[in-house]
C-alpha cells in the first residue's frame, strides 16, 4: 500500500485539530456575502470550481465553493471550524468525489483522477492529521515521499535539508520523536520529494509556537518563489493572509469572501467575523 492509499483510507475521520475557537460564532453567511463575485478562475493554474460534495451518502459539505491559484502563488483558505476547509482540500486532491463542479490543473480536467494520479500530475498534499510516519526516521519519511520516482532522489533530499536545516541533523531519528514544528517540516519535506508543482497544506502550523509558525511561513514563501503553487488551510488567519496572494473565507462550504490577502485583511466584515476585530 502506498502512503497515499493509507491517507485515503483516513478520509478525514480524524480531522480534529487543536485550538479552534476563532470567535466566528454568530456569522450570517448568505446575507453577508462579499459583493465581489466568485473569482474568474477558469484559466487559473489550479482550480477547484463550484465544488459540491460530501461524505458517502451524507449531505453536501461543499456547497459550490471555488478555490484557485496561479503558478507560484500562495492561496490561503480560512474559515470557522467545520466550514469544509479540509473537505475542500480533499476534493481538490481527489480524496472526495464531487457531485458537481470540477478540478483543473494547468488546463486539464482532473476531476475524476485518483489522488495517486494527481500526484503523478504534480500535486502533493500534506493532510491535517497523520502526515508523517512516526516510527520511521526523518530520512525514511522523505524516501517514502518519493515512492513514485524511479530516478535519483538524493538531490531532492539535499534540497529539503537545505530548506529545513534541522532535519539534516535529525535524519536518523524517528520522526515521532521530533518537536511539533519539526514534524511539520518532515511532512512538508516529504511532500516536496515528488517535486510537485502544487503543494497543498492543511493547517501546517497547527499546534506550533508563533516563532515556529513564522519560520514555517518563511519557508513556504521560499517554496512558492521556486514557482510551486501553494494551497493552504490556516487557522492562524491573520498571519496567513499576510503572506497570501489569494485568500478565501469559506463558510458552510461556500465562498463567503474572496480577495487578495491584503484585501481580506482590510475588509471590516472579514476582520470582525474572522480576525477578531
Ligand atoms: N470523514 C467524514 N465523514 C463525514 N463527515 C465528515 C468527515 N470529515 C468531515 N466531516 C464533516 O464535514 C464538515 C466539514 O468538516 P471539515 O473537516 O472539512 O471542516 P474544516 O473547515 O476543515 O474544520 P476544522 O477547522 O475543524 O479543521 C463537518 O461537519 C464535519 O463533521
Ligand atoms: Mg480542517
Residue in this structure with the C-alpha cell 489522488, named with its chain if needed: 115
Ligand minimally distant from the alpha carbon of residue 235:
1
Residue bearing the CA closest to ligand 1, atom 25: 81
Residue bearing the CA closest to ligand 1, atom 9: 12
Which of these CATH numbers, 3.30.70.360, 3.40.50.300, 2.40.50.100, 1.10.10.10, describes 3-274? 3.40.50.300
pLDDT digits (tens, 9 = 90+) for 137-172: 999 999 999 988 899 999 999 999 999 999 999 999
**pLDDT band, residue 247 (cuts 50/70/90):** very high
Taking 50 as the threshold, does the pLDDT of residue 21 lie above it? no
Q: What is the pLDDT of residue 148?
A: 82
Q: What is the pLDDT of residue 27?
A: 33
Q: What is the pLDDT of residue 38?
A: 53
Ligand minimally distant from the alpha carbon of residue 17:
1
Q: What is the pLDDT of residue 72?
A: 97
Could you tell me the distance, in angstroms and rounded to a whole number, from the CA of residue 71 to the centre of ligand 2?
24
Ligand minimally distant from the alpha carbon of residue 83:
1
**Are 122 and 198 within 8 A, CB to CB?**
yes
pLDDT > 70 fraction of the chain, expressed in percent and rounded: 85
Q: For a pocket test of ligand 1, which of 27, 56, 86, 251 has the largest count of ligand atoms closer than 8 A to its C-beta?
A: 86
Q: Given the CA of residue 79, which atom of ligand 1 is nearest to it?
A: 21
pLDDT digits (tens, 9 = 90+) for 69-108: 999 999 999 999 999 999 999 999 999 999 999 999 999 9
Could you tell me the distance, in angstroms and rounded to a whole number, from the CA of residue 86 to the centre of ligand 1?
7
**pLDDT band, residue 40 (cuts 50/70/90):** low
Lowest mean pLDDT among 12-16, 120-124, 251-255: 12-16
Residues with CB under 6 A from ligand 1: 11-13, 15, 17, 20, 55, 58, 61, 79, 81-87
Q: What is the pLDDT of residue 149?
A: 86
Taking 50 as the threshold, does the pLDDT of residue 33 lie above it? no
Q: What is the pLDDT of residue 200?
A: 98
pTM given for the model: 0.86
Query: What mean pLDDT is predicted for residues 226-232?
Result: 98
Q: What is the pLDDT of residue 8?
A: 39
pLDDT digits (tens, 9 = 90+) for 108-146: 999 999 999 999 999 999 998 889 999 999 999 999 999
Query: What mean pLDDT is predicted for residues 250-262?
Result: 97
Q: What is the residue-wise DSSP string for the chain?
A: --HHHHHHHHTTTT---S----S-TT--TGGG--SSPSP--TTSSEEEEEEEEESTTS-EEEEEEEEEE-TT-EEEEE-STTSSHHHHHHHHHTSS--SEEEEEETTEE-TT--HHHHHHTTEEEE-SS--S-TTSBHHHHHHHHTTT--S--HHHHHHHHHHSHHHHHTTTSBGGGS-HHHHHHHHHHHHHTT--SEEEEESTTTT--HHHHHHHHHHHHHHHHTT-EEEEE-SSHHHHHHT-SEEEEEETTEEEEEE-HHHHHH-HHHHHHHS--
Residue bearing the CA closest to ligand 1, atom 17: 86
Beta bridge partners of 182: none
Query: What mean pLDDT is predicted for residues 204-231?
Result: 95
Q: What is the mean pLDDT of the chain?
A: 88
Amino acid at each position: 500500500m502506498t502512503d497515499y492509499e493509507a491517507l485515503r483510507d483516513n478520509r478525514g475521520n480524524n480531522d480534529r485539530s487543536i485550538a479552534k475557537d476563532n470567535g466566528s460564532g454568530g456569522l450570517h453567511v448568505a446575507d453577508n456575502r462579499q459583493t465581489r463575485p466568485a473569482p474568474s478562475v477558469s484559466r487559473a493554474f489550479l482550480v477547484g470550481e463550484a465544488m459540491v460534495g460530501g461524505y458517502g451518502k451524507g449531505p453536501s459539505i461543499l456547497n459550490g465553493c471555488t478555490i484557485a491559484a496561479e503558478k507560484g502563488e500562495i492561496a490561503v483558505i480560512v474559515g470557522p471550524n467545520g466550514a469544509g476547509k479540509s473537505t475542500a482540500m480533499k476534493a481538490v486532491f481527489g480524496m472526495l468525489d464531487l457531485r458537481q463542479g470540477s478540478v483543473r490543473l494547468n488546463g486539464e480536467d482532473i476531476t475524476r483522477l485518483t489522488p495517486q494520479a494527481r500526484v503523478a500530475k504534480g500535486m502533493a498534499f500534506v493532510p491535517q492529521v497523520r502526515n508523517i510516519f512516526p516510527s520511521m526516521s526523518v530520512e525514511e519519511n522523505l524516501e517514502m515521499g518519493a515512492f513514485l520516482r524511479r530516478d535519483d532522489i538524493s538531490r531532492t533530499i539535499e534540497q529539503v535539508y537545505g530548506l529545513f536545516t534541522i532535519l539534516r541533523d535529525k535524519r536518523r531519528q524517528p520522526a515521532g520523536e521530533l518537536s511539533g514544528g519539526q514534524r511539520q517540516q518532515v511532512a512538508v519535506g516529504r511532500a516536496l520529494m515528488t517535486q510537485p508543482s502544487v503543494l497543498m497544506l492543511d493547517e501546517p502550523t497547527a499546534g506550533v509556537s508563533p516563532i515556529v509558525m513564522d519560520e514555517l511561513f518563511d519557508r513556504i514563501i521560499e517554496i512558492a518563489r521556486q514557482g510551486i503553487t501553494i494551497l493552504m488551510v490556516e487557522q492562524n488567519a491573520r498571519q496567513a493572509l499576510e503572506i497570501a496572494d489569494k485568500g478565501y473565507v469559506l463558510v458552510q462550504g461556500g465562498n463567503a469572501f474572496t480577495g487578495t490577502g491584503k484585501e481580506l485583511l482590510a475588509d471590516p466584515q472579514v476582520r470582525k467575523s474572522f480576525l477578531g476585530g
